[in-house]
Amino acid sequence: MTEKIVADRKIFFLDLKENERGRFLKITEDVNGRRDTIMVPVEAFQDFAQALVRIMDFEQTL
């Protein structure tokens, strides 16, 4: 599964992938052809999502 998010001049790709070690989320940022990628193992999805919600909630208070 893949999701694509376009924000200003950045494009984010979120790809659910799997290898011999298990499933993971590959997050790639593309800015004018330059790419940076992080991998989040499936075991960390819940913690990752909760941290994003906390950050979004905090940002709303600024």
pLDDT digits (tens, 9 = 90+) for 19-51: 999 999 999 999 999 999 999 999 999 999 999
The token pair at 48 is 């990752």
So what's the pLDDT on residue 60?
Answer: 97
Q: How far is CA 23 from CA 11, 27, 43, in A?
A: 23, 13, 9
**Per-residue confidence band for 15, with pLDDT thresholds at 50, 70 and 90:** very high
Q: What is the pLDDT of residue 21?
A: 95
What domains are defined for the chain?
A: 2-61 (3.10.450.700)
Structure confidence at residue 52 (pLDDT): 97
pTM: 0.87
CA angle, corner 46, sides to 43 and 51, nearest 5?
A: 125
